[in-house]
Structure 1
């Protein structure tokens, strides 16, 4: 079993505290720390960092912390604590920014369609507040309107974006390491396994087949930022300095 390295140990402790302590103290930190849509009243720029320490369920935090430990440990051993933390936060913040950009595009597309139907900005804002609308005027599908409402109100939580960055960096550093999933227990080399996971997220993010409230584009965003940094470091032998 891999020994906990310093950065990963502290990240896991902070995540655990921010998950369990609010429940024990009956506190809800979602409006403060989770990543909200920029036009939402609860949005704060600090949330691009703090949302990485918020999780929606026990399974969510366990899965992310296991991924952080399993794939991040050899990276921290290779890069050192400071470089690993820089990488981790860069991937996580980058994931949040890309996720916001994609949501902003989707939100504004529907917003413009509603304007084209003759609704005023105030009427659209009332729809976002109340969640109800006149179907005789708003001829967009219920699915699109539900997505529009969800983009505005549903905050993103979790370290998944940063963990995806870690996963990509692991695959670049150890391409022939064998990985497998619980529901597909066939060992596959990391250089094939990781791209397959990312393509799956991209597919689910672009189609209606996603199961549950999963921030697929945050995963893809973290993977992109993680790849750029890890590839640059590997190309320039950054780990040697």
Structure 2
């Protein structure tokens, strides 16, 4: 069972506190801080970040916080606070950008909330760092290697986004989070599409 390092703990507390505030001021808070489509007239430049701190219902909050603890805690202890925070930020914003780009295709979409983009970035990082680690997801409750887990959930997000783009779940934000996390790791390693980073 992973420990609860400071950044992961702080994010879990902030998201839980924000959800409690949503129960009191839901419509006002979501109108200002949820991620709205670009053509809605409600989009604000801070929403690609702030949407990650809001959640739609208790189960949405629970599963995202459970995943943040399950996958993020060990990664934070290995990377350190600064790199871990930068990675979460890149994944969350990349997920938001992916969702906004899809909304430009004319598919009707409501506001997007949740830390799922950042969480899917963590899933990818965990699978890359511990590919042979056996994990037991809550759904489906089948033990599998981390690398298989990442492929399965990435594939589900892709197929769901293609066949059910208006189903109420931001599937392309999940995929965008994975992409953002992958690009961040490539950047740190000095791999394409980024220039190599020579040590001085």
Could you say whether these structures have the same fold, taking a TM-score greater than 0.5 normalized by the shorter chain as the test?
yes
Q: Answer 1 or 2: higher relative contact order, Cα 8 Å, separation at least 6.
A: 1
Pair 1:213 & 2:168 matched: yes
Contact (CA 8 Å) 2:38, 2:103: kept in 1 or not? no
Please give the alpha-carbon distance, in whole angstroms, between the structure 1 residues aligned to 2:25 and 2:99. Answer: 31
1-structure distance, mates of 2:155, 2:2: 29
Match of 1:11 in 2: 11
1:162 aligns with 2:129: no
What do residues 7-56 of structure 1 show as CA deviations (whole Å, max 9, x unaligned)? Answer: 00111111011101232467730100000011212110100000000100
Deviations 1:177-229 (A, max 9, x none): 11233342221111111011101110111114x79411000000001111222
Contact preservation (8 Å) 1:94, 1:225:
yes
Q: 1:22 to 1:213 in 2, by over 3 A?
A: closer
Partner Cα distance (1:182, 1:201) in 2: 17
Unaligned runs of 5+ in 2: 192-196
Q: How does 1:90-129 map to 2 (within 5 A)?
A: 90-104=90-104, 106-107=105-106
> Does the Cα contact within 8 Å between 1:163 and 1:222 map onto a contact in 2?
yes
| Separation in structure 1 between the aligned mates of residue 3 and residue 138 of structure 2, nearest angstrom | 23
Match of 1:223 in 2: 178
Is the partner of 1:43 in helix, strand or coil?
coil
1:168 and 1:219 map into 2 onto residues whose CA distance is 11
Whole-angstrom CA distance in 2 between matches of 1:164 and 1:192:
14
1: CA distance, partners of 2:103 / 2:27? 28
CA distance in 2, matches of 1:26, 1:165: 27
Q: Does 1:45 align with 2:19?
A: no
C-alpha distance in 1 between matches for 2:178 and 2:41 = 29
Could you tell me which runs of 5 or more consecutive residues in structure 1 were left unpaired when the two chains were aligned: 108-147
